Amino acid sequence: MKKRESGVLLSISSLPGEYGIGDFGKEAYKFVDFLHHARQRYWQILPLGVTGYGDSPYQCISSFAGNPYFIDLDELVEKGYLSKEEILKEGFNSDSEKVDYGKQYHGKYRLLRLAYERGRGQLMSQLEAFYGENRSWLREFSLFMTIKDLQDNKAWQLWRGDLKNFNGRAVEEIEESEKDRVFFWVFTQYFFMKQWEQLKEYANSKGIKIIGDLPIYVSADSSDLWANPSLFKLDKNLEPTTVAGVPPDYFTATGQLWGNPVYDWNAVETDNYSFWIRRIRHSFKLYDTLRIDHFRGFESFWEVPAGSVDAVNGRWIKGPGINLFNRIREELGDLDIIAEDLGFQTDQVVKLINDTGFPGMKILQFAFDPEGDSDYLPHNHERNSVVYTGTHDNKTVRDWIDTAPEKERKFAIKYLKLDDREEGYNWGLIRGAWCSGAYLAIAQMQDFLDLGEESRMNTPATLGENWTWRVKKSDLNQKLSKRIADLTRTYRRG
């Protein structure tokens, strides 16, 4: 039986730091120390992939490559590839509490290209060795990004016709003639992986495990789709015939139209699930525990005709079910996986979760229907589950308390004996999670800080200010870590 433990949800991008976005530099190590002093055993992060339009870490350019925005530039200064003055000229530190992704896209890549030009001669043997070790995914990613550069950064479906074929001669010719461009992307992944492995090793040495996050789907504009089109439902022009989403739900009246291509699960099965096995194997090189997003989609998924303006007119299609996870277990053994089983539930979804043995998720913000006995109420939490005050898609606790329907709000206050003057509503809801019977309790950093709507990480089905929030360095102080540690000790999660 798993021990009672707890942790904090904070994206790498949300860490403090000098260069406009959280990264793998000194502030990440200080945050690990903060977690250690707070007696936490887990740090949950959001996906680490390369983001594209909309900046969502759930719409990545590759299932395997890491986001170059997270590379610690100070290491490149130490190696003599960059100067501090060159970094400061980019103006990253004009706003320390929000990520400006436009500045990251232009400024960070400009600096990384400059560092590559200066360091490639010294580093080439290491880069070639790294490329050889990771060729199974790095070749398709680095070629994809190289051609994207050459095609004015257009989505790959809009490239010149012969470049759409990953296995074609035109792609091979670019691989031969544009080695320098290709190896710039190898350079970014070399430093990403090197720095991440060092940070993870430090966290593990402090008794802290990393929970990573794997989106179920891949992006339409991704090296995954470009290199593996036969595994997805595409037409003869390699355009999706149907796309992913969810039907109308708690978040939106018209559902969520994600727009990702959906898998042709018959083709995936015929390929012996090798794409998914590669994804899972790679994920466990990066993380100790893996949360798989939208897990119910493996039982059945909501499929919407391509070109739809919303997700209302979709239909449920059967997924691979337990067969996929039996195959993963055969190949990789027993793995520490958390199933994000939120959304529309059926007996079949519940059975799939039970058959896998993976813990599901309980969200306290969904619990307080005054007329019902919700599975999300703490007295109903089974041991093999993970309880959250809220996820990156939820309001913060403060915002939820301020905006929840009055009956739900009153029931939450009564059920948890919340008191905003002495304890604070946010701490009361965190207490509700920490005293739960679930083996693992997680809260967003925003909730520990009692922050409101301005710090929400993501509002589903919207574009704009999502994914931009950053924590202030001064907020990660000894007073807060002691209070978290005391709560954790009280409920025997330390």
pLDDT at 251 over 70: no
How far is it between the farthest Cα atoms of the chain? 69
pLDDT at 1 over 90: no
pLDDT band at 249 (very low <50, low <70, confident <90, very high): confident
pLDDT in tens, 420-446: 999 999 999 999 999 999 999 999 999
Alpha helical stretches, state H, 206-273 = 223-227, 265-270
Instruction: Say how far apart CA 319 and CA 163 lie, in whole Å.
Output: 31
Domain 5-490 sits in which CATH superfamily?
A: Glycosidases (3.20.20.80)
pLDDT in tens, 82-111: 999 999 999 997 778 999 999 999 999 999
Residue of 74, 224, 303, 393 marked catalytic: 393
DSSP string, 444-471: EHHHHTT--GGG-S--TT--SSTT-B--
Strand (E) or helix (H) holding 133: helix 109-133
pLDDT in tens, 298-309: 999 999 999 999
pLDDT in tens, 152-178: 999 999 999 999 999 999 999 999 999
Q: Is the pTM of this model over 0.85?
A: yes
Strand (E) or helix (H) holding 83: none
pLDDT at 336 over 90: yes
Instruction: Work out the average pLDDT over 33-51.
Output: 98
Q: Are 391 and 294 in contact (CB under 8 A)?
A: no
Instruction: Work out the average pLDDT over 460-486.
Output: 94
Residue with the bigger pLDDT between 127 and 461: it is 127
Instruction: Work out the average pLDDT over 278-299.
Output: 97
Instruction: Say how far apart CA 1 and CA 123 lie, in whole Å.
Output: 47
Report pLDDT for 96. Answer: 84
pLDDT at 23 over 70: yes
pLDDT at 395 over 70: yes
Instruction: Say how far apart CA 178 and CA 298 lie, in whole Å.
Output: 39
In the chain, the percentage of residues whose pLDDT exceeds 90 is 94
| pLDDT mean across residues, the chain | 96
pLDDT at 252 over 90: no
Task: Give me the residue label for tokens 């320390």.
Answer: 96
Residue of 293, 303, 341, 399 marked catalytic: 293
Q: Is the dihedral of CA 94, 99, 386, 399 positive or negative?
A: positive
Report pLDDT for 344. Answer: 79
Active site residue 340: yes
CB contact set of 280 (below 8 Å; sequence gap of 6+): 214, 290, 328, 332, 335
Residue of 23, 74, 340, 399 marked catalytic: 340
pLDDT at 382 over 90: yes
pLDDT at 6 over 80: yes
